[in-house]
Structure formats: structure tokens, C-alpha cells
Structure 1
Amino acid sequence: MPDLLTMRDVSVTYRTEGGDVPAVRGVDLALSRGEIVGLAGESGCGKSTLASTILRLQPPSATVTGQVLFEGEDVLTMSWGDLRALRWAGASMVFQGALHSLNPVRRIGDQIAEPIRVHSPETPDREVEARVGELLEQVGLPPTRARAYPHQLSGGQRQRVMIAMALACRPRLIVADEPTTALDVMVQAQVLDVLSALVHELGVGMLMISHDLSVLADLCDRIVVMYGGRVVETGPAEGVFGGALHPYAGALSAAFPRVGDPRARFAPSGLPGDPPDPAQLPPGCAFAPRCPRAIEECTRAVPELRSFGADRSAACIRVAS
């Protein structure tokens, strides 16, 4: 049986007035049913662009190469009819900023019901309403909230509505793009608990995108770290967060202090500099200009992603074999 999602050598290039901009460069990724994979990295590293290829949501200016296989079928070569059937029913997306994603003049019950009516138009209204109530209860909201408008809900409640919409057609894959960025810490924890419980109860797969490695470490089974449009490290969540191989993954982990760790309290760690401009990537390793361990050899060639044990990979020449 094939993986739920398999991405092979995926590259995405945007056409601009200033020339072609490579946003994603040769990424491989796999995700199985019942698994949560985290995609981490700073803004501009290519996370959301990569995720958009799963449902073929790129703008006309984008050129995508490689393979994006959903249950063995290539999304990039699907007919429009097959792609339309895949969206919502096969794979769905939870976007960041629910207030901007929800229609402000429609009740949330109608918005949750819309994908059900589109994909199953023969379903009686009574069953659709019952399904909406069931979905709201699944994400921890009373069914009576179906009559509310988005502005009548809190940020956490709106995000739960987005999750309910993503689950409306019982998809096998959920792509969550920074779903908790705009939420406070307590509400963030509640939303993450909802997501984790739903994945394990329903047996769906989830790709979770975030710049916060600590969030991914708590939620995910595996983590994929991206930098400059490429994967620089993959491995079990606990291993990547607690013992990163690549210097960049280590810097991401160190940026989030551990509660009770006096070293993090009195000597907070950060990463100087900014991520590279995709249109002007440095030679060799894109992280070399910011890397405290960089040597001259790092600027000569782009390091390949190498395996270190059965479940760890890193793209760094300084990592010991």
C-alpha cells in the first residue's frame, strides 16, 4: 500500500519581472495514514509553497516539477475533475488567520455545510445539519454555534471552525498551515490538542506547518526542517528538537527556551542575520553565511541530504557520519 502522501524531487519556481525565483528546490517528503509530520522553518523557507502543491493551489506564475502523489496518483497531472474531487474530500487545508478565511456575512454552519453540499449534493438538508452539529462537537464547540457569524466567535473558536470545515467531507489528509500563529498560548494548546485527538481518532494523516519547533515537537511524529527552499534535516520529532544534527535545526530548537532550564533563562539563544533571498541564494550551502560552524568547503557545493541511522537525515558536511 503506498504512503498517503509522497513528494518526489518537488521544485517550485515563480516567474517575476526580475527573473525566475526558486522557492522550493528538490524536496522529498512522505506521510502515512495516522501520522503527523511537521514542516518547520523561518518565513520564506518554502513551507507554504511546498504545501500548496498538494492541492495544486499555486498561482499561474508558478512552475512546479517533480511528483506529488496522493494515494499513488500524481496531483500535478490530474484532470480538473479529479482535482476538484480531491479537494476537501481527499485532502483539505486549514489556513492561518481564520478571520480572513471565513466569510463574514455567512453563518458558520452554512460555511461548514458548503463543501458537504458540493461533494454530496444528494444529501438531505437534515443530514447535512446533523453533520455540521457533529463536526462542531468534534472540535469542542456546541452545535448551537452553527448560527453564529465569524465576528461573534473568539480567535480560538474561529480556528476550530476552520478545522471543522477541513473535516467536513471526511478527508484522508489535512494540511494545517500555521493554524495557531494568531492565538494566545492557552488557546493554542487547546487547538493543538483538538488536532492531535482528531488525527488519532479518525486515522487521517496531517502535515503541520509552523516556524515554532517546540509546537511541532509536542504534536508531531516526525519533523522536516527546511531552509532556503531545501530540506536540511528530517527525523523523529523528539530527536530533532532535543538533538538536532543540522546547525540550523539546532538554532531553531534553541530559540525556544525550556521551562526550568536556567541556561535558556539567563543566556537566551538566537540566530543572527536573515534568511536568504530565494532570488539571490549564496553559493554552496544556503545556511553558510549564518552558520557558526561554516568552513570554506561549505561555500563550494550544495550539501546532499544524507542518512544518519535508520530514521535521521541531514544536509551538512560538518555532521559526523
Structure 2
Amino acid sequence: MTLLEVEDLTVSYRIAGGEAPAVRGVSFSLDPGSKLGVAGESGCGKSTVALALLRLLPKTARIGGSIRVDGEDVIGMRWGRLRAVRWAGASIVFQGAMHSLNAVRRVGDQIAEPILLHGTAPRSEVPERVGTLLERVGLPRWRSRSYPHELSGGQRQRVMIAMALACEPKLIVADEPTTALDVMIQAQILRLIDELVGGQGIGMLMISHDLAVLADTCDRLAVMYAGRIVEEGPAAAVVADARHPYGAALSAAFPKIGDPASRRAPRGLPGDPPDPADLPQGCSFRPRCPVAEERCAEVDPVLYPVPGGRSAACVKVRAEEAV
């Protein structure tokens, strides 16, 4: 059974004078034990998708489409059932653990809170459960008595992962979980996440702007731009040979170690993603696209199938595959 199924998800925010569409018709699925990465620049809608999965968006947001977690409709779910699904069915690891942890409470108490709220273990067994969780993420049990400011950035992120695992969820959403960490700690956290997900059959949706991180961690990769998925496929293939110009630009923006040409001529992408309240006509990527044609101003392409279990939303891809 599919663990997470998202169909035609739309999210818009109320603003002065109307609505701004932050997510426009996003669809994807995730099976138990699999890992899907979502990439894109800031403002492309990645975090909005993550928050929508458990209805954590502000009241100014309007959600459409369908979100099913383990077969249950999240959008139409009653508050009591939604509260039960959060943490126990699906949990989120947020970016910046220091902002997510309570600065005046010991980390052990914060890990214990979802266990106590959901009643997944008798109260007398909770301290042992907390100690076990800390050990699973590579921290000694005595760290349960620490306050967040007494931990390093990597240790705080490990505490966040322990909290996410506290109620043994089937789905974990990781929103930029390693952005604020140095490369050594980042590698440790990614290895830890990979071991925990692979060993327990947990489905994971990982969001990041770093394609290298997603290629090393995830099975499949979806690239988002202006609120839509513009390319999707096996992670390694998308990074190595992107079929959409935006995916290619993201991949080229990361210099390759040992490649003199990459180091001496780094390639970026001029401009910024469009304002959701003022999207360009036709293809949203057209104003920044290095290979845009006149027809791109007339057509807003959908995802076209590409050999190798891939898809890309570009009229040039459709024309090439039709030949």
C-alpha cells in the first residue's frame, strides 16, 4: 500500500488584493522504505508542500487537491484524528533545531512529550524510551538532562530526529535538516537518517536546495519551480543528466571537486523565482531560461514522460520525445 499519495495539491495564500498561488498542482507518491527528495530555490514552494502534508500551514492558506497518508485523507480529517496522526503517523524534522526546541526545557522532557501525549508507552517506561532514542541517534543517555543551548548544532539536530522517531511514525518529512550544519556533521546526520529509514521501512520526504545531498540520500528526486514539479525521476539520473533547463541549472550551480573547468567557470542562474502573485505568461521559467523559444510564452507545459522512469515539464522535451 502507498504510504503517501499527493494528487493535484494546490496551496494559495490570502494577500492584499487577492491570492498568491504558492503550490500549483503538485502530485507524487511515496512507498514504505523509500526516500523522495524535493529540490528547488527558496520560494519555489518546497516547505509549503511539507507543511501542507500535516496541515501545519497558517490560516491565511487555502489547500486544494488530495493528501493521503497511509490511505487516510489529511485535508478532510477531523481535528482529533489529525492530532493523532501527527507524530504517531507522520512527523517532521524542521530546519534549525534551535528554533524548534524549547530553550527552557531539558531535551529529554521534549522527546518524552509526544510519547506521553499519544500514550505509545506507559509513563513508567518513558525515561527508558527516551534514553533508547538518544542512543539510536548517537547521543549518550545522560544528554536527556541537557538544555538545548548546552548542545552543539549537530547534537540538537540529532535530538530533533529522536523526537521525530519518538512515536515510531511511518512517514518522516525532513525540511532542510542539515542546512545549518558543517559538512562533517552534515555527513553524519545524513548517514544516520539513511540508516534509520532503511532499517525500519520508514518513508521519507527530504526537502533541500542541495542536489548533492538529495542525490546521495534519496531514491527519487522531484525538482520544483514556481510552485510546480518541473522534473522527476531517479535521483542520480536527474542530477547527472537533467532534462529540464531548470534542473540542469541547479546541477551546474554546484562546482565539481577535481574539475578545473567547473572551478574556474562556475555557472549560476541570473534572476530569482517569480512572485507567486505575478507569474509570467506561459512557462514560469521562461524569463530565466537559456534555451527559451517563442512558443514558451504561449504554453505552460505539464510533465511529459521521459524514458527511464522520468518526466519533465518542458516543450523541448516533448518535441524531442515525439521525434
Fold shared per TM-score above 0.5: yes
Q: How far is 1:257 from its partner?
A: 1.3
Q: How does 1:211-222 map to 2 (within 5 A)?
A: 211-222=209-220
* Distance in 1 separating the partners of 2:296 and 2:41: 21
Q: Which amino acid aligns with 2:154?
A: G
The aligned residue for residue 97 of structure 2 is: 98
Structure 1 stretches lacking a partner, 5+ long: none
The answer on whether the counterparts of 2:116 and 2:123 sit within 8 Å (CA) in structure 1 is: no
**Letter in structure 2 aligned against 1:275:** P
Normalising by structure 2, we get a TM-score of 0.97
What residue in structure 2 maps to residue 41 of structure 1? 40
Partner of 1:83: 82
> Aligned AA for 1:165?
M
Partner of 1:30: 29
Quick one: distance in 2 between partners of 1:47 and 1:206? 14
Residues 34-57 of structure 1, C-alpha deviations (whole Å, 9 max, x = no match) = 011000000000001011111111
Q: Name the CA shift for 1:121/1:169 in 2 (closer, same or farther; >3 Å).
A: closer
Kindly indicate whether the alpha-carbon contact (under 8 Å) linking 2:120 and 2:167 is maintained by their aligned counterparts in 1: no
Correspondence for 1:60 = 59
Q: Deviation string for 1:269-292 (max 9, x for gaps)?
A: 111111111110000110000000
User: Residues 297, 85 of structure 1: CA spacing in aligned structure 2 closer, same or farther, 3 A cutoff?
Assistant: same
- TM-score, normalised to structure 1, is 0.98
Shift of 1:87: 0.1
CA distance in 2, matches of 1:98, 1:281: 33
- In the alignment, what sits opposite 1:16? 15
Deviation at 1:27, TM superposition (A): 0.5
Structure 1 stretches of 4+ moved >4 Å: none
CA-CA distance at 1:119 after TM superposition: 0.2
Q: Is the 8 A contact 2:269 2:288 kept in 1?
A: yes
Separation (CA, whole Å) in 2 of partners of 1:104 and 1:153: 11
- Aligned residue in 2 for 1:238: 236
Question: What is the Cα deviation at residue 17 of structure 1?
Answer: 1.3
1:204 to 199, 202, 205: 202
Indicate conservation of the 8 Å contact 2:39/2:210, yes or no: yes
Q: Does 1:74 align with 2:77?
A: no
- Following superposition, the deviation at residue 121 of structure 1 comes to 7.0
Deviation of the 1:124 alpha carbon:
2.7
Answering whether residue 143 of structure 2 is matched by residue 145 of structure 1, we say yes
Match of residue 130 from structure 1: 128
CA contact (8 A) 2:10 2:65 kept: yes
The count of corresponding residues between Structure 1 and Structure 2 is 319
Q: Alpha-carbon deviation of 1:111?
A: 0.3
- What SS is found at the alignment partner of 1:24? strand
Distance 1:259 1:283, change over 3 A: same
Per the alignment, residue 297 of structure 1 pairs with 295
8 Å contact kept, 2:35–2:206: yes
Identity of aligned residues (%): 63
Answering whether residue 228 of structure 2 is matched by residue 263 of structure 1, we say no
Distance 2:253 2:95 in 1: 22
Deviations 1:242-277 (A, max 9, x none): 000000001101111121122211111111111111
**For the structure 1 residues 183 and 122, does the alpha-carbon distance in structure 2 shift closer, same or farther, using more than 3 Å as the test?**
closer
* Equivalent residue letter for 1:82: R
Provide the rounded CA distance (Å) in 2 between the counterparts of 1:79 and 1:185.
42
Deviation for aligned residue 1:180: 0.7
In the TM superposition, residue 318 of structure 1 has moved relative to its aligned partner by 1.2
How large is the RMSD of aligned CA atoms in angstroms?
Answer: 0.9
Query: Is 1:247 the equivalent of 2:277?
Result: no
- Say whether 1:169 aligns with 2:158: no
The aligned counterpart of 2:280 is 282
Gaps of 5+ in 2: none
How far does residue 122 in structure 1 lie from its aligned partner after superposition? Answer: 6.3
How far apart in 1 are the matches of 2:119 and 2:65? 32
SS across alignment from 1:162: helix
